[in-house]
Amino acid sequence: MLFKKNNLNKASFGLKLGAILGILFLHVPLFLIILYAFTTEDKSYQFPPPGYTLKWFSIVLSRQDIWNAVSLSLQVAIISTMAAIVLGTLAAAALYKASFFGRDSITLLIILPIALPGIITGISLRSAFGVVGIPFSTWTIIIGHATFCMVVVYNNVVARLRRSSPNLIQASMDLGANNFQTFFYVILPNLGTAILAGGMLAFALSFDEVIVTTFTAGQQTTLPIWMLSELIRPRQRPITNVVAVFIICITFIPILYASYITRNTTDTEGSSK
């Protein structure tokens, strides 16, 4: 039995295989998309591709409708991320420590937009815009996106606030700083990477969102809406492949960056060494 114990602390072959197959299951589809972006076949999804070419990339670069969709998506993602950062950080600052009547309901309210199916949020907003008489515009898309992006920033900032020591704030006050100085010189630098990481994820979420957007966009085309129409009726398969690769790249960058800047934050900031 003693001999066996060392073996028992290692993963069995079956478990290892299961884990590796699982990771492959998560990633092979994404690799396939990248492979398909270079295929010469434009009528079907033939595997393996009969030949490889770069021409679809240059065709996509010259397509004005795609550029318009990209620029609309970027605009929406940037503005709604900024709104989400302000609102989410404020909510986190108010809720992380406080205990008052209705606190749990407010927390639930912040999580609700992402917990309920997007279609319910989308239709609700759409009918509300209709009732109030707000015409569809970039701003109606942004209102929807900021609503569900808020929770991402909130989560990141709340987690950081819970980890940072209250002593820091006490020390700053003891040394004569007022609330605002404490906020700008102590709290904000401490929260910086958490806010940035939350913002990055909110950006990725917004850039990619299609369900709520379908209901709040009217006739406008964001990149995911363009993509969705191609998914329903494939007319330009090679172009869609290239756009998909582009979307993978533009969402991977903020996600990787967010995990990079928060990699060393498991220790409590300002806790006694």
Partner 1 sequence: MISSLDNFSNYLYKNKHILLLIFLLPPLLWLGIIYLGSLVVFLFHSLFYLDGFTGKVVYQISFSTIAELFSSPANIDILIRTVVLALAVSIGAAVIGFPIAFYMAKFTSPKIKIFFYLAIMLPLWSSYLVRVYSWKLILAKEGIINWVLAKLHLTWLLDAILSLPVVGGPSLSISYLGMFLVFTYIWLPFMILPIQASLERVPNSLLNASYDLGATRRQTFYKVVLPLALPGIAAGSIFTFSLTLGDYIIPYIIGTSKFFIGQAVYTHQGTAGNIPLAAAFSLVPIGVMAIYIYFAKKLGAFNAL
User: How many angstroms separate the CA atoms of 2 and 257, rounded?
Assistant: 46
Closest among 188, 101, 97, 94 to 150, alpha carbons compared:
94
Chain Cα centroid distance, residue 256: 11
248 contacts partner 1 (rule: CB under 8 A) = yes
Q: Tell me the number of residues near partner 1 by CB under 8 A.
A: 88
Q: Select 168 or 173, whichever has its Cβ closest to partner 1.
A: 173
Q: Select 21 or 61, whichever has its Cβ closest to partner 1.
A: 21
34-63 residues near partner 1, rule: CB under 8 A: 36, 44-48
Residue choice 70, 85, 95, 186 for contact with partner 1 (CB under 8 A): 95
Residue identified by tokens 């602390």 is: 9
Residue choice 40, 42, 61, 119 for contact with partner 1 (CB under 8 A): 119
Give 147's contacts (C-beta < 8 A, 6+ positions apart).
113, 121, 125
Q: Select 72 or 247, whichever has its Cβ closest to partner 1.
A: 247
In the complex, minimum distance from the CB of residue 48 to partner 1, in angstroms, rounded to a whole number: 7
Q: What tokens does 181 get? A: 């100085």
Residue 7 phi, psi (nearest 5): -65, -35
Q: Select 233 or 272, whichever has its Cβ closest to partner 1.
A: 233
Candidate ranges 54-62, 66-74, 107-115, 189-197; the one touching partner 1 (CB under 8 A):
107-115
Residue identified by tokens 């756009």 is: 243
